Structure 1
Amino acid sequence: MDALLSWLWSSEEEELKMLDFMAYFMVFMAVCTFLSLLFQNVPYGRYASSKYGFPVNVKLAWFVQELPSLLLPLCLMFWESSAKMSQLPNQLLVTMFLCHYFQRTLIYPFVIRGGKSTPFVSFALAFVFCIYNGYMQVRYLSHYAEYPAYWVTHPYFIVGSALWLTGWLLNIHSDHILRNLRKPGETGYKIPRGGMFEYVSAANFLGEITEWTGFAVAAQSVHSAAFALFTTVVLSSRAVAHHKWYLTKFEDYPKSRKALIPFVL
Structure 2
Amino acid sequence: MEFMDSIVEMLFTSSEEELYILDCLSYLMMLLALLTGLTLLFENVPYGRYTSSKYGFPVNVKVAWFVQELPALLVPVGLIFWASALKISHLPNQLLLCMYFCHYVQRSLVYPFLIRGGKPTPFASFALAFVFCIYNGYLQVRYLSQYADFPQGWVSHPCFITGSCLWLLGWIINLHSDQILRNLRSPGETDYKIPRGGVFEYVSGANFLGEIVEWAGFALAAHSVHSFAFAFFTFIVLSSRAISHHKWYLKKFEDYPKSRKALIPFVL
Per-residue CA deviations over 1:98-138 (Å, capped at 9, x if unaligned) read 11000000000000000010000000000000000000000
| Alpha-carbon distance between aligned partners in 2 of 1:104 and 1:149, rounded to the nearest angstrom | 32
> What is the match of residue 49 of structure 2?
46
Q: In the alignment, is residue 121 of structure 1 matched against residue 124 of structure 2? A: yes
Alpha-carbon RMSD: 0.6
Q: In the alignment, is residue 227 of structure 1 matched against residue 230 of structure 2? A: yes
Q: In the alignment, which of 138, 157, 162 is matched to residue 135 of structure 1?
A: 138
Once the two structures are superposed, the pairs formed by residues 7-26 of structure 1 within 5 Å of their partners are: 7-26=10-29
| Alpha-carbon distance between aligned partners in 2 of 1:177 and 1:129, rounded to the nearest angstrom | 27
> What is the match of residue 81 of structure 1?
84
Aligned-pair CA distance for 1:227:
0.3
> What is the match of residue 33 of structure 2?
30
> What is the match of residue 110 of structure 2?
107
| Alpha-carbon distance between aligned partners in 1 of 2:205 and 2:49, rounded to the nearest angstrom | 14
**Is 2:66–2:112's contact at 8 Å kept on the other side of the alignment?**
yes
> What is the match of residue 176 of structure 1?
179
Identity percentage of aligned residues: 72
| Alpha-carbon distance between aligned partners in 1 of 2:251 and 2:194, rounded to the nearest angstrom | 12
Per-residue CA deviations over 1:191-220 (Å, capped at 9, x if unaligned) read 000000000001000000000000000000
Aligned-pair CA distance for 1:148:
1.7
**Code of the aligned partner of 1:179:** R
| Alpha-carbon distance between aligned partners in 2 of 1:85 and 1:145, rounded to the nearest angstrom | 10
**Is 2:117–2:188's contact at 8 Å kept on the other side of the alignment?**
no
> What is the match of residue 63 of structure 2?
60
| Alpha-carbon distance between aligned partners in 2 of 1:184 and 1:60, rounded to the nearest angstrom | 19
**Code of the aligned partner of 1:232:** F
| Alpha-carbon distance between aligned partners in 2 of 1:124 and 1:110, rounded to the nearest angstrom | 20
| Alpha-carbon distance between aligned partners in 1 of 2:188 and 2:161, rounded to the nearest angstrom | 45
- State the SS of the aligned residue for 1:113: coil
Aligned-pair CA distance for 1:2:
1.6
> What is the match of residue 192 of structure 2?
189
TM-score by length of 2: 0.98
Q: In the alignment, which of 149, 152, 159 is matched to residue 149 of structure 1?
A: 152
> What is the match of residue 221 of structure 2?
218
**Is 2:85–2:146's contact at 8 Å kept on the other side of the alignment?**
yes
| Alpha-carbon distance between aligned partners in 2 of 1:229 and 1:40, rounded to the nearest angstrom | 20
| Alpha-carbon distance between aligned partners in 1 of 2:23 and 2:32, rounded to the nearest angstrom | 14
- State the SS of the aligned residue for 1:147: coil
Aligned-pair CA distance for 1:184:
2.5
Aligned-pair CA distance for 1:149:
2.6
**Code of the aligned partner of 1:156:** C
**Code of the aligned partner of 2:251:** T
Aligned-pair CA distance for 1:34:
1.0
Query: Number of matched residues?
Result: 265
| Alpha-carbon distance between aligned partners in 1 of 2:55 and 2:188, rounded to the nearest angstrom | 29
Per-residue CA deviations over 1:58-91 (Å, capped at 9, x if unaligned) read 0000000000111110100000001001100000
Q: Which runs of 5+ in 2 are unaligned?
A: none
**Code of the aligned partner of 2:108:** T
Q: Which runs of 5+ in 1 are unaligned?
A: none
> What is the match of residue 165 of structure 1?
168
